[in-house]
Amino acid sequence: MRRCIGFLALVTTVPCLAVPVIGDITFDRGADKTSLANTALEVGIDSRTGALLSITDRPSGRAVLTASGSAPWPLGDQPAEVRCVGVRTRLELGAVVMEVDQGAAGWVATTSYRIWLRQPVLQRDLALRPTADSDKYLSGVRLTLDGVGVQGATDCRYSVLDNWPPRTTAFSELSPGRQVGDTFGGMSGHFVVTHSAEASVGLVAMMACETESAGARVTEQAGSIRIEHTINATFLPRAGKTERFGSQLLAITHGDWRSSLRQGRELYRLVGLVPPQETRDLANRAILYSAHPGGTIDSGFRDVGGFKAFADYLPQLQRLGINVLWLLPTWKGPVYAPVDYYSVDPRLGTEADFRALVERAHELGIRVLGDLIPHGPREESGLATQHRDWICSNEDGGIKYWWGCLYCDYAHPGWQKYMGDHAVDWVRRVGLDGYRVDCAGGGPINWRPFGNNRPSMSGTYGGAQVLRAARESMEREKRDVLLLAEAAGPVFLRYANMTYDWPLCLQVLRHYPEQRPEEYVPQLAQWLENEQYWLPPGALLLHFLENHDTVRARMVYGPGPERALMALCALIPGTPMVYHFQESGLAPYLERLYALRRNVPALHSGEADFLTVTCDRPAVLTVLRTLGNQQVLGAVNLSGEAQACTLRIPSGALTWRGGARNALASPAAPAPQWETTAGGDSIIHLTLAPFESAALLSAEFMVPGLPSAPQVTAPAPTASSLTTSRQGGDVVVEGGGMKLTVGGSNGLLKSMEYAGAPVLRCLSFGEGSRRLWLGARKIALESATGATVEVGEVSAQGLPVRARGAISDGAGNVAAEYAASYTVALRDGRPRLAVGYELTARRPVENVLGSLVELLALDPSATEWAVGTAEGTLHDWNTPRWPTDRRYDGRYLRGVGDRVWELCDQMTGLPVQLAARSANGLWTVLRLGDGDALPANASLKLRRGEESAPFVQLEWLDGNAPVNLKAGETLKLGYVVDFGLLGELPGGLLQAGKLDLAGGWMRITGSQVEVQNRGCYLRASRYAGGRINAVAEGMDTSPIVRGSRVYTDWGIYPDEITPDGRQVRNMVTSDSDPETWGRVDLGGSDPVLSFGGYLRDSDGRSTPAPRMAYRVTYTVGAAAIGVKLQVRPMMTLTGASAFLAQTLGIPAFSTYTVAARDGTLTRDAAGTGRLWESKGAGFGAEPWMEWRGPDGMGARISGPDLADLQNAFLLRSGSGEGVAFLAFLDGLPADLLPQWRTLSYTLTPLKGDQ
Amino acid sequence: MKHPIALMLLAGLTAVLNAAPQVTQTPDTVTLRNDHLRITVRADNGGALAELRTADGVLLSSGHGLYTDQGLFGPGVYVGTGPVRVTPNVTTEEGRARVRSEGFLATRDGVTAETPGRMGYFLEYELGEGPVLTVRWGATPTFRLDKVTGFFAYVGSLPNLAGLFANTLDGVLLQDPATQNGRSYQSATWPLSLEHPWFGVLRQDGIAIAFCRPTGTPPLPNCFFHEDGKGSASFFLAWLNGGIPQPLEAGKTWMGQCEIRVAPSFERLREDLP
């Protein structure tokens, strides 16, 4: 029976069987099936159970959902019987809603199906009404789509769109029962896309829930999938009280896969979820800088000084291209724990100082955001006394605390208004232009919710409502305010201009240092492409590599990758952000990058396409940005190797032709080569240096406002001969604008002048802060007297000046004799100085943690500095950023503050170059490890007391390792300095790349090292505790070990209490250590990689006390890797029962074999949990254990130390993957002492035939 | 050399001049003196060592005592020996003199801390014939805490620094004084040698002061210096220093001991130490 009613029907609710149809919408109520349809789709309901039976694409006649009719119940366990107890239809403007009541087990569940005229979209809402009270809280509500698949199609595939790594699964490869969830839970739109190319039909299903967080899960079935959207709602059932949840939105799509994604994204418009439009252009153009006027997080917000001091830095931000400044909280109280929202922190200055800072920023074209803290103030604010109802409660009714503060109920209208009033107050008082909103996603459960709210609505719903209140109140005062929500999820974009891209910034990018760039970049491109489609159209996300809540990006990625990723953040859609002084070492690059971003509309407001342009180099990511007729093609080299790329742009994809220009390259760089194929494709040939990026524009498009490169003001003088003389006792070598002076009394390099600039001086050489000879006074070469200084014979190496002398402790005790040599050679007429020292101990040194330090000053008038390391290059203006020149210890173990670079932050053991550019444009380059021994550490700072210059400190011995020198034994040290080099960066400064070794090669990609030695490949990270990312036979073969760490999670450190008061195990682990030191040793027959540090809590922020040190060394042999693992608890614990182990991740394996006490056992890897344990069974005389996959590939661990472990075992998970545990401690009583515990073993990759 | 007589005594004449310590008592103080060192214990200072001097009066260390400000009596609440008045008890035997004081830890205003309960303590200083002062201390709670973490240490001040040293598990360390306020050498960061644990300070006048064999029951998780950045430091021999909680049992005494050894130079000290 099918009936129609006209458009003018005024009936909004009609009983069953009184069938309405509006426009093309029809309703049919049958005994078996009830359907609602328009010309685009038909929804079928089981008339008996009320379950969703089918969704059909009417133009093609193909069903995209064909369910069995059993009704997956939305709550708890499946009840025995579910019955349809009513169906109604309701008319809305342009739409019809069919409401289906299902009854079961004390509940009525009403599912609303809303369809619109002619639209192939469906909105499915759920309301639950209990028929009786309950005293048991319920959690989790499900909306299920059963039997999803394009009917009759043989090529159907599906994807959970936010998955990392991105993947699509063909229905031909479905494994019934396998489940795939969304990777980022509440942060995404929970999109599941099903599509058939042959049918050109798809179904996009997503969840728009504005009350609680949600999630998606796919369960694979035979020939179809089940999609389940879960809403994380917690509530107490009350008879007759209806609980409503968000909307499941579905679109039947036509066209190809990407077209389906585009249609799916439009679903957000059905629920009006679009970002604020009035400030959209303003937000698009934003380039953010985040800082606290007190100082950096590293210093505990103390190393800048307050409003006035920070205001002085604003011109630097303007130069950088920053146009929005987010000031971390400046309210009275600890930074994120305000005591008074209406007062400024007096440590930062006065309100007038604050206002002056904002005014100065405005003068410079920088908008200023405050930091809104809706989670609540500290207890001493008195808020709990004034407004107890605003404060959340625990289950027992007591006050709930969060982040050390009173936890205020985001969902309480009173608190929302208070936040709105507070937000606008500072807009009025100091002229703020908006806020970054802390913890903007709401908070944990409030067990005494306001009004009819659910306890769980203090989360997502409350967070969004606070944003609404802040925006509405501020917009009454100032129209163009910006809101940046510290939250991720589409719902927050209704009121915030931007949300955090946590999925990208804290998760997806963090996989970069684990994977080979050639593997990673294609996945990243696909994921970035997908990400656009699970966000509302026009959504703007904040892109950052670090902030005050994270470790510094340079520690994580290394300098080169950081540079490349900063370019990525500027070239893709979203808002790039720089965190306080992150620009150190990057500033000139960022200046150019952000000038481009600001001045090219396609870059800040254009659509992005990550897949259309292909590059023959997989480590290069491309993105095509389009706005109208303007296009920019970005290319980012995420590898440490130069990439000669060929980019192919399909015909029609580019709006411009006839030449491209790389706007990120210097004008002097060769232009990319352009050609067009017969088929009309554009081909661009481009070479990208390690970690460099390109922004290709039409050759005709001149970007305004790009900074120009500094000019060389004088040609480098050249010389053909050198003269020597003595001047006042000093020895002088001169020629062609160069003058080298060696001190006559001590033989120290007094000065080197070149082209009129004092380009190098040695200020001191001797014991550093830790004495080597343990004397009463420091031993220093500069205080030596009586040296003999002579000019040697000219040789092929150059003209040497040699000095000899003795150094004593000032009390007449000679510690060592020294010989220094300074050899000047001319290369193309420009000087090169080779400096060498030989220190021969007269007094022996026995097991002393002593240091030996040389301090050099480069040109005080230098305008720029640069450092080239194995992990990439840093380059900056000579701008001292920190007000103090003193080293201090901050958030991390390593000192921070005055040094702009320190060697120990990167892999050591490889050459390093430091450079300064004089005002005349010429570079001086100091080369370390260029044939000489490398210092243990080195650093660059820009200030020393009152003096400014690039100061280089070479710690030949850093005092961290014991030194032994016999009497008569000699230390040999040295380096080379080149003068008068031209160019934007001196040639050869870049160190990243691939090194050929005797049996293979080594490649460093930022913080990741790969070594291939014949049949053995290792990839490990400096960041993350020397984690093994892969062990394999070769870099392209499947890993047989994937992931490793050393950790303890019980028995040593006490459990953790989470910010919301839960007690959880404290995972203290090496793979969250951001300060891992790494060293490469290529001196032996096999390459050796060493790493070390301290175990960290799981987010890497703190090192639990007492510390636990670890060291791990991998000797990569031709057929096996020697692993030496050491841990040292800095504590004495007797009879401790604890867990402490190294783990190795194992890909899916099918068998394992162990050399057990009772003989060699081979078993199938079946079941889950611990498979075999040495603790019970015991190893045999020669312990080993191995595992193999179905192809016979696997690995063996062997070595006598295994027998000394409390336990060694294999653990298998449900996915078939495993973990090998090598446990120093596994519950048996043991004494912990501050001594190194050592585990040495051999890790041997096994082939199928071994 | 600012104090030639003392240094001569310390340097070379010990064997000749060594003699049993002398004891001087007043109502407020007890002084023990041998040919090398002189210590003064004050009754109104909880019986803690008020001054450690060379025999000829050079101030080496002062302001010793026990204190806690975290974990036992509430966050930020100072409870210690400083404000306590006691009656030191002196004993002598076979060339050694010992002064021992007992009391209850008190807040800054001198009131015995009562919540969660009283904490009895003792401090004992023993001087023999050589340049070594043995310090023992103990604390006996009248209350029980299953897990206590916080801060509880034996402390004292050291002026006039030229360097800090330590015999660590990895080697001998002699480092410059810090130029900034904060903790410097810490055994929790860089453990002391298990066989021969000692650490200390080198003074501007060359005298070296070592804290040897610091031990405790429970063990001392951290022995460290806190420097003021201007040439002075405090030393801490800590039973509690955050981190791993310890059980505190009523009536069970926590013990600590250390030898303070003084030498005219670091070089000479190393000769005296293993």
- The string of DSSP letters for A762-789 reads EEEEEE-SB-SS--SS--BGGG----EE
Determine the pLDDT at residue B197. Answer: 97
Asked if A498 and A484 touch (Cβ cutoff 8 Å), the reply is yes
Please compute the mean of the pLDDT values over residues A307-332 and round it to a whole number.
Answer: 97
Determine the pLDDT at residue B22. Answer: 94
Residue A11 has pLDDT above 60, yes or no: no
pLDDT band at A716 (very low <50, low <70, confident <90, very high): confident
Give the dihedral of Cα atoms A394, A400, A402, A406; nearest 10 deg.
Answer: 160
- E strand or H helix that includes residue B123: strand B119-127
Closest CB from B171, B189, B245 relative to A848: B171
Residue A365 has pLDDT above 50, yes or no: yes
Determine the pLDDT at residue A1132. Answer: 87
Determine the pLDDT at residue A933. Answer: 87
Determine the pLDDT at residue A5. Answer: 35
- Partners of A113 in the β-ladder: A98, A124
CB-based contact B244 A1106, cutoff 8 Å: yes
Short-list A436, A435, A373, CA closest to A407: A373
CB-based contact A774 B221, cutoff 8 Å: no
Please compute the mean of the pLDDT values over residues A592-603 and round it to a whole number.
Answer: 96
In terms of pLDDT, which residue wins out, A213 or A713?
A213
The chain-wide mean pLDDT, for chain A, equals: 92
Determine the pLDDT at residue A13. Answer: 40
Determine the pLDDT at residue B3. Answer: 46
What strand order describes the sheet that includes A673-676?
A614-615, A643-649, A682-688, A673-676
Please compute the mean of the pLDDT values over residues A298-309 and round it to a whole number.
Answer: 91
- Partners of A219 in the β-ladder: A179, A226
- DSSP helix, strand, coil percent of chain A (3-state; round to 5): 15, 40, 40
Closest residue on chain A to B220 (Cα) = A1132
Centroid of chain to Cα A945? 36
CB-based contact A959 B173, cutoff 8 Å: yes
Residue A19 has pLDDT above 70, yes or no: no
CB-based contact A1133 B244, cutoff 8 Å: yes
pLDDT band at A286 (very low <50, low <70, confident <90, very high): very high
Q: Is the dihedral of CA A274, A277, A281, A285 positive or negative?
A: negative
Closest residue on chain A to B205 (Cα) = A776
Backbone angles phi, psi at B270, to 5 degrees: -65, -30
B132 SS3 class: strand
- Angstrom distances, CA of residue A269 to CA of A272, A538, A894, A902, A1092: 5, 11, 50, 51, 52
> What is the Cα–Cα distance from B163 to A776, expressed in whole angstroms?
9
Strand residues in A689-742 grouped as ranges (E): 693-698, 723-727, 730-735, 738-742
Count of residues for chain A?
A: 1250
CB-based contact B188 A1053, cutoff 8 Å: no
> What is the Cα–Cα distance from A707 to A576, expressed in whole angstroms?
19
Asked if A532 and A191 touch (Cβ cutoff 8 Å), the reply is no
b/e code A918-956 from CB counts within 10 Å (16+ = b)? bbbbbbbbbbbbbebebbbbbbbbbbeeeebbbbbbbbb
Digit-by-digit pLDDT tens for chain B (274 residues) are 344 444 444 444 343 446 789 999 999 999 999 999 999 999 999 999 999 999 999 999 999 999 999 999 977 889 999 999 999 999 999 899 999 999 999 999 999 999 899 999 999 999 999 999 999 999 999 999 988 989 999 999 999 999 999 999 999 999 999 988 899 999 998 999 999 999 999 999 999 999 999 999 999 999 999 999 999 999 999 999 988 888 999 999 999 999 999 999 999 999 988 7
DSSP code of residue A706: P
Residues A479-524: pLDDT tens digits?
999 999 999 999 999 999 999 999 999 999 999 999 999 999 999 9
Residues in chain A closer than 8 A to B265 (CB atoms): 776
CB-based contact B221 A770, cutoff 8 Å: no
DSSP code of residue A186: G
A-B interface: how many C-beta pairs under 8 angstroms?
Answer: 86
Determine the pLDDT at residue B52. Answer: 98
Residue A613 has pLDDT above 50, yes or no: yes
Closest residue on chain B to A1093 (Cα) = B189
pLDDT band at A1248 (very low <50, low <70, confident <90, very high): confident
pLDDT band at A986 (very low <50, low <70, confident <90, very high): low
Please compute the mean of the pLDDT values over residues A906-931 and round it to a whole number.
Answer: 92
Backbone angles phi, psi at B131, to 5 degrees: -85, 45
CB-based contact A1235 B149, cutoff 8 Å: no
Q: Are strands A799-808 and B119-127 parallel, antiparallel or unpaired?
A: unpaired
Residue A1115 has pLDDT above 60, yes or no: yes
Residues A367-407: pLDDT tens digits?
999 999 999 999 999 999 999 999 999 999 999 999 999 99
Alpha helices in A1024-1183 (DSSP H): 1174-1177
Closest CB from A850, A962, A1130 relative to B189: A1130
Q: Is the pTM of the predicted complex or chain greater than 0.90?
A: yes
Short-list A1019, A1061, A1075, A26, CA closest to A446: A1061
Residue A72 has pLDDT above 90, yes or no: no
B118 Cβ contact list (under 8 Å, min separation 6): B104, B105, B112, B141, B142, B143
Backbone angles phi, psi at A39, to 5 degrees: -75, -10
Residues in chain A closer than 8 A to B244 (CB atoms): 1052-1054, 1105-1106, 1131, 1133
Asked if A125 and A244 touch (Cβ cutoff 8 Å), the reply is yes
Residue % of chain A over a pLDDT of 90:
80
Residue % of chain A over a pLDDT of 70:
96
A636 Cβ contact list (under 8 Å, min separation 6): A564, A567, A568, A571, A620, A621, A622, A623, A693
- E strand or H helix that includes residue A191: none
- Angstrom distances, CA of residue B262 to CA of A688, A1144, B32: 65, 51, 16
Instruction: Give the other-Cβ count within 10 Å of A616's Cβ.
Output: 12
Asked if B95 and B119 touch (Cβ cutoff 8 Å), the reply is no
Determine the pLDDT at residue A718. Answer: 72
Residue A1220 has pLDDT above 60, yes or no: yes
Residues A684-704: pLDDT tens digits?
999 999 999 999 998 888 888
Residue A14 has pLDDT above 60, yes or no: no
Residue A1010 has pLDDT above 50, yes or no: yes
| HSE-up (13 A, CA, CB side) for residue B77 | 17
A566 SS3 class: helix
**What is the ipTM score, two decimals?**
0.91
CB-based contact B171 A1052, cutoff 8 Å: no
Residue A1114 has pLDDT above 80, yes or no: yes
Residue A583 has pLDDT above 90, yes or no: yes
Determine the pLDDT at residue A1. Answer: 44
Determine the pLDDT at residue A665. Answer: 86
Backbone angles phi, psi at A100, to 5 degrees: -115, 120
Residue A16 has pLDDT above 70, yes or no: no
Asked if A769 and A806 touch (Cβ cutoff 8 Å), the reply is no
Closest CB from B169, B206, B242 relative to A1105: B242
Asked if A299 and A896 touch (Cβ cutoff 8 Å), the reply is yes
Determine the pLDDT at residue B118. Answer: 95
pLDDT band at A983 (very low <50, low <70, confident <90, very high): confident
In terms of pLDDT, which residue wins out, A106 or A4?
A106
Residue A709 has pLDDT above 80, yes or no: no
Could you write out the DSSP letters of every residue in A420-465? Answer: HHHHHHHHHHH---EEEETTTT--S--SS-STT--GGGGTHHHHHH
Asked if A358 and A368 touch (Cβ cutoff 8 Å), the reply is yes
Residues A117-167: pLDDT tens digits?
999 999 999 999 999 999 999 999 999 999 999 999 999 999 999 999 999
CB-based contact A961 B169, cutoff 8 Å: no
Asked if B131 and B54 touch (Cβ cutoff 8 Å), the reply is no
- E strand or H helix that includes residue A1077: strand A1077-1081
In terms of pLDDT, which residue wins out, A598 or A1057?
A598
A363 SS3 class: helix
> What is the Cα–Cα distance from B227 to A654, expressed in whole angstroms?
66
CB-based contact A849 B170, cutoff 8 Å: yes
DSSP code of residue A504: I
Residues in chain B closer than 8 A to A1131 (CB atoms): 188, 221, 243-244
Instruction: Give the other-Cβ count within 10 Å of A675's Cβ.
Output: 10
Q: Does A811 touch chain B (CB under 8 A)?
A: no
Closest CB from A886, A1104, A1128 relative to B179: A886
Backbone angles phi, psi at B249, to 5 degrees: -110, 140
